[in-house]
Structure 1
């Protein structure tokens, strides 16, 4: 189950954030979640992030390498902050404001 959630998170980061600005990525992620009705698997990703179940080094690697986003502190702690904000933003309606990191 954890591996499935990790794969889903990594896929989302690569698909939506790698080559897009943050706000655009969030809007596209919101649309995708609504269209695909993929909330069951998304719930597993939410739990993975909220419960901080990723192995040491993976949060930073996912954000830095997969999403191609540099972080100021380059730490798992900062990566979890970024991932948590991504979760918050992804749950908004399509036209809801996006909170920038």
Structure 2
């Protein structure tokens, strides 16, 4: 890439943000927020998809595809070499999403 002012600004902002998340409490809070947001998304998706009852199978297939892509990204060998924070936050979002869908299924089953 060319060394432009915008590129330098974005690199500096990304570097300072990554330095800010080196603190373990900030990292933990970001991962916890990601988990809880995934839990909220799972609850919201299950209630809104069930309202119309159209294209439920396609929506479920799309969500399964997204969770499988996230798992492939997180559990690949290249991840353990670099430990990217955004990939870890995405995995926690996925875990919260799946956990919420399981709880919704248990509520509907009882």
- Structures share fold, TM-score greater than 0.5: no
> Which structure's CA Rg is the greater one?
2
TM range (shorter): 0.3 to 0.5
TM-score, with length taken from structure 1: 0.33
Which of the pair is proportionally richer in helix? Answer: 2
